[in-house]
Chain A
Amino acid sequence: MSEIRVNPLSVLTWNKLELNYAKMGVDAALKAEDGPRENNLPEGVSFKGALDDAAYAKWLADNGIEYVKEAVVAGKYPMPEEQALPTGMGAEVDKLLADKKVPAILYEVSKTIEPPLRFDYTYSDGDAVLENMIIHVRKGCEITLILNIGGEAGSGYVGHSLKLFLEEGAKLTLVRLQMLPKGFQYFEDAGARLMDRAELKYISLQLGSAKTYLGACFDQWGYESRLWAGLGYIGLKDSFLDHNFVDTFRGKKTVGVMRFNGVLMDNAVKVSRETLDFRQYCTGADGDEEEDLLVLGEDAVNKANPMILGEEEDVSGRHAVSVGRLSQDMLFYMQSRGIDEIKAQELMVRSRIMQLASQIPDDELKKNVERYLDRLYCDRENCPSPC
């Protein structure tokens, strides 16, 4: 496997910490996802074509999305990578898509669609697939889109890149549920631009693949645009997860909330970068980010770098991290109701994931997640109550 550099930190720090970026292996056999793109689309959602590089550039230009050379660079901070629509994983993923000639599948939403739209991706052993998708939500339109990613036992490599463009007043709820088998490597990139009063709710649940890279960059250009982003994951034995979430506040009175709920078991490794980036003139912006990590594995490794970058005085930004075992107080409370330690752990794992899963507007998928959680503890030793 060759390697590319992904998940760059917005502001560099000590190299020794190995947090400035991640190196991700790339399978030489990767190719574009194929299959029908127009089936079962509701009225108001249209497939606008598979864009090659030139067509993607034109789409960007038509929508006024262009690369902004950032003038504000304090010290030797690296220039943001050259992406017109920046993504969390960075420019090298875009380059990978171009190298592998993976077209961008463009969907346009031109009506408010009530029932959630769901795309199922089911992968098989040996697959090495890249998906590249653009969701363009037109002015004032609303939609819920669920990407359900799973597969049969085996191994493979799956990468999903997603670009989101929300015009004025558009609302998008996007769910990415990944339940691939352990043998798969997975990456999931996202870049979103939110215009005036646009609202994005972004939920990513990672319950599969033992090697996972995630990136998301939310560029809040629009006045009063709002973001709510949540990531939930469970790191099992021998798993690795690396993520980079960036919320960039540019418009006035923008609001961004990010929640990270994680669990690390056994020797799971997690590296995370969470950034609230307040750009000059984003007066009245409000950013709030929280990481809640439950560490249940003796050999687990947890690296994090939650940053707040500020160029604008009139903002309010906060981030909070809580990392550790099940707290003694919580354990005492649970036990006082007759719940033993293992069960209490299970409930706390469940709580962290269900906080996000309960927001998936799809009962079947919600049940899948619950079943996954049931199995998780039943497969472990000392299950106190076989299900």
Chain B
Amino acid sequence: MAENILKIQGLHAGIEGEEILHGLDLEIAAGETHVLMGPNGAGKSTLGNVIMGSPVYNVSAGSVIFDGEDITKDSVDVRAKKGIFLSFQNPLEVPGLSMEAFLRNAIRERTGKPVKVFAFKKKIEETCKLLDMDPSYVERDLNVGFSGGEKKKAEIFQLLILEPKLAILDETDSGLDVDAVRTVSKGVDIFKQRGGSLLIITHSTRILDALKVDKTHVLVNGKIVKHGDASLVDEINTGGFAKYTEG
């Protein structure tokens, strides 16, 4: 494994006619947990989407190196197969397709081999237990009729089943009930223990409380204006972004 799981260099990206990220650099070492903070409209979600390769955004300059490989031009599914996972704020609903069938297909696509039914079922059961989730959850249609909290839990569940190398959690703790926050924190913790790298995009810090954060970055107007350690989170919690947005 390369020393850095993710290395972003001089990244310029935006939507049609409007640049949002103006030359962004970011490095995440394997196994580390990074937090990206910033005021609304700074480009935090854009960054997550660009790393995942969303076709909504154009990359005009710079590169994204994942696990030693330049993935800037890779399609979304190729990136996913290489080990990137993005949690969605609004995961899409697919009636008629159970979460279990969806995940089975996703694993088959990743490995190119049929999924061993018994092993898969066992993994599902174990993961349900770890997250304290009702197993009937996975038989329901993907995200259909899920509450906001359930959707977030389902995303974390997928994270643990798909076992990527890098998880980008986009404002995962926004507007969640206590129960969902607990599940998400627990899932993230398990993922971390298994050696996964994390980029947590947030402007609030509830799930960070129980988590060992290695590095914190502050994103303002499409540029990272400050790199720091875990203490930066506390600093922003008390002082906000004013210090970084002025001038």
Contacts and interface: CB of A to CB of B under 8 A. Distances in A.
The answer to whether A and B interact is yes
Interface of A: 261, 328-341, 343, 347-348, 350-356, 358, 384-385, 387
Interface stretch (B17-25, B88-96, B187-195): B88-96
A199 to B, nearest CB: 22
Contacts of A341: 77
Contact of B158 (A337, A355, A356, A384): A337
28 contacts: A328-B55, A330-B92, A330-B94, A332-B52, A332-B54, A332-B56, A333-B92, A335-B80, A336-B85, A336-B86, A337-B80, A337-B85, A338-B162, A339-B77, A340-B75, A343-B105, A347-B97, A347-B102, A348-B94, A350-B96, A351-B94, A351-B95, A353-B96, A354-B97, A355-B95, A385-B109, A385-B114, A387-B114
Given A331-B76, A337-B162, A340-B109, 17 more contacts: A261-B96, A328-B55, A332-B54, A334-B77, A335-B53, A335-B76, A336-B86, A337-B158, A338-B81, A338-B110, A339-B106, A340-B77, A343-B105, A350-B97, A351-B97, A355-B95, A387-B114
A347 B53 CA distance: 21
A338 B91 CA distance: 15
A68 B95 CA distance: 40
A376 to B, nearest CB: 15
Residue among A261, A329, A353 with the highest chain B CB neighbour number at 10 A: A329
A333 B96 CA distance: 17
Nearest to B54: A332
Nearest to A341: B77
Given A350-B96, A354-B97, A358-B96, A332 B55 contact: yes
Contacts of B79: 336
In the A-B complex, the 6 residue pairs with the smallest Cβ-Cβ separation, listed nearest first, are A335-B76, A355-B96, A338-B80, A351-B96, A335-B77, A351-B97
Nearest to A259: B95
A98 B20 CA distance: 71
A350 B77 CA distance: 19
B119 to A, nearest CB: 17
Contact of A354 (B88, B91, B96, B114): B96
Contacts of B121: none
B212 interface: no
B227 interface: no
B108 to A, nearest CB: 5
A387 B76 CA distance: 24
Interface string B64-89: 00000000000111011100111010
Contact of A385 (B76, B77, B101, B108): B108
Given A351-B97, A385-B109, A336 B80 contact: yes
Contact of B105 (A335, A347, A356): A347
Given A340-B109, A347-B102, A333 B97 contact: no
A177 B54 CA distance: 40
B247 interface: no
A350 B98 CA distance: 11
B239 interface: no
Given A337-B162, A341-B77, A384 B109 contact: yes
A339 B85 CA distance: 12
A373 B172 CA distance: 35
A371 to B, nearest CB: 15
Contacts of B85: 336-337
Interface in B9-54: 52-54
Nearest to B102: A347
Contacts of B110: 338
Nearest to A354: B96
Interface string B187-213: 000000000000000000000000000
Interface in B85-137: 85-86, 88, 91-92, 94-97, 101-102, 105-106, 108-110, 112, 114
A348 B109 CA distance: 15
B105 to A, nearest CB: 6
